[in-house]
Amino acid sequence: MLFGRTTLSKFVIEHTRGQHSEMGALLIDVAAAVKTISAQVGKGALSGVSGALDVTNIQGEVQKKIDVLANEALLRHCEWGGQLAGMASEEMDTPYQIPEQFPRGRYLLIFDPLDGSSNSDVNVSVGTIFSIFSRFTAGDAEDADFLRPGTEQVAAGYAIYGPCTMLVLTVGTGTHGFTLDRESGNFILTHPDIRVPTETREFAINSSNERFWEPPVQRYVSECKAGKSGVRGADFNMRWIASMVAEVHRILMRGGIFMYPKDNKDPAKPGRLRLMYEANPMAMLIEQAGGAASTGRQRILDVAPEELHQRVPVILGSREEVERLVRYHQEYDTGADRPFVSPLFSERSLFRD
């Protein structure tokens, strides 16, 4: 039944030969952790791990039991293989050191073990996001080793736990989707070389924060909402799932734009999403699929991280829409989008009444 179909194992072996041959084994370990998390998530309330714990993580967010179990699954599946120098997780304050009894490698694994976990109790799709960097030498990683721009990622991906479990992956040669065959236990390549449509009529943003958005974002969303009667001359649909994995997966499958922009709701935070755990891996996947990813003022993959849990604004998806929003930010920052106002003269240099 599986004859002639490409499994994840075969794919990563073929696509990581040479300089990153050891990374193939690490990706297979990540896939094993994804299967474990998928089984836990799939049981829902039957697993006995629903609900929140009486603790918060480094992000100041209340941890759910399933967050902790997902984090543990990734640590246990990936620590022993000899490919890693260290790991970092959104759920842990500091990087995870590989236990002494296991050999060290030259890769760094960074992950959000269960993105959108607040949705798990209401049976909405959640996911795991991961990113891999390479060091020049093997050995224990230090905190500073993780602070690398997204352009230096050698692989990135996410798993989405929905009606089926999918693993979407890039090793720098395009973005590819694998579906878990529950009968065989294999991830099968079902979506090779995914391409994000350049044009779109869908946008995703949390409109409850509209009063806090910067003017370029307000301008873009108001134009989309105006539909055929506005400057865009087309009707748009708005989506918001509140699960980044689900939002990005929809964009990869049929196009669109996802926005979690900078706002003034909490001026101390330059953005809401984590650069290392969410923005960088998703930006790599989107760019490898022909899309674009920006903070509004800078390409996400070019952002130089200053701390492990740094937050950034995120705008990603179909290239033309992202480029439009970037242009709106440029026009706002330079004043080009602001109407001419003079206390004495009107636009045609005639005196005001």
Is 312 in contact with 305 (CB distance < 8 Å)? no
Q: What is the pLDDT of residue 2?
A: 47
Is it the case that residue 1 has pLDDT exceeding 50? no
Task: Tell me what percent of the residues of the chain surpass a pLDDT of 70.
Answer: 91
Is it the case that residue 107 has pLDDT exceeding 70? yes
Spatial distance between the Cα atoms of 198 and 92, rounded to a whole number of angstroms: 37
Which class does domain 202-334 fall in? Answer: alpha beta
Q: What is the pLDDT of residue 346?
A: 58
Which class does domain 8-191 fall in? Answer: alpha beta
DSSP 3-state assignment of 62?
Answer: strand
Q: What angle do CA 272, 134, 37 make, to 5 degrees?
A: 60
DSSP 3-state assignment of 46?
Answer: helix
Is it the case that residue 298 has pLDDT exceeding 50? yes
Mean pLDDT of 112-127: 91
Is it the case that residue 32 has pLDDT exceeding 70? yes
**Backbone torsions φ then ψ of 3, nearest 5 degrees:** -60, 130
Crossing angle of helices 23-43 and 8-15, rounded to 10°: 150
Query: pLDDT (tens digit, 9 = 90+) per residue, 166-201?
Result: 999 999 999 999 999 999 999 999 999 999 988 789
Spatial distance between the Cα atoms of 198 and 35, rounded to a whole number of angstroms: 33
Mean pLDDT of 19-41: 94
Tell me the pTM: 0.92
Q: What is the pLDDT of residue 351?
A: 52
Q: What is the pLDDT of residue 84?
A: 96
Domain locations in the chain?
Answer: 8-191, 202-334
Query: pLDDT (tens digit, 9 = 90+) per residue, 209-232?
Result: 999 999 999 999 999 999 999 999
Query: pLDDT (tens digit, 9 = 90+) per residue, 237-266?
Result: 999 999 999 999 999 999 999 999 999 988
Give the CA radius of gyration of the chain: 22
Q: Which long-range contacts (C-beta less than 8 Å, at least 24 apart) are formed by 40-48?
A: 40/66, 40/69, 40/70, 40/73, 41/66, 41/70, 41/114, 41/120, 41/126, 41/161, 42/161, 42/165, 44/120, 44/123
Q: What is the pLDDT of residue 215?
A: 96
Q: Give the number of other Cβ atoms within 10 Å of residue 321's Cβ.
A: 27
List the beta bridge partners of residue 351. Answer: 345
Q: What is the pLDDT of residue 52?
A: 60
